[in-house]
Amino acid sequence: MGTYEVKAEVTGSVWKIVAAVGQEVEPGGTIVIVESMKMEIPVVAEDGGRVEAIRVEEGAPVAEGQVVAVMAG
């Protein structure tokens, strides 16, 4: 069992943090929602697992490729 990083695919701002630290997430489950180009873009944990850390705050800007969360799984 290792950890992996969940990265934002788009630049924008954090609209909502959906998952909480410690929570188990299904593969493809949404961790945070980024607002970009007037759309609410989900940032998902491809392989699922437990949320180890959330690295962003609601309302904060986020850049393409930025780590938003660390997952254990």
Q: Applying CB under 8 A, which of residues 5, 18, 36, 48 lies at the interface with other proteins?
A: 36
**Residue range at the interface with other proteins (CB under 8 A); choices 19-27, 37-45, 48-56:** 37-45
Q: Is 1 in the site for other proteins (CB under 8 A)?
A: no
Nearest CA-CA partner of 11 in 66, 59, 56, 55: 66
Q: What is the dihedral of CA 62, 64, 68, 73, to 10 degrees?
A: 170
**Residue range at the interface with other proteins (CB under 8 A); choices 16-24, 40-48, 52-60:** 40-48
Interaction site with other proteins (CB under 8 A): 9-10, 36-42
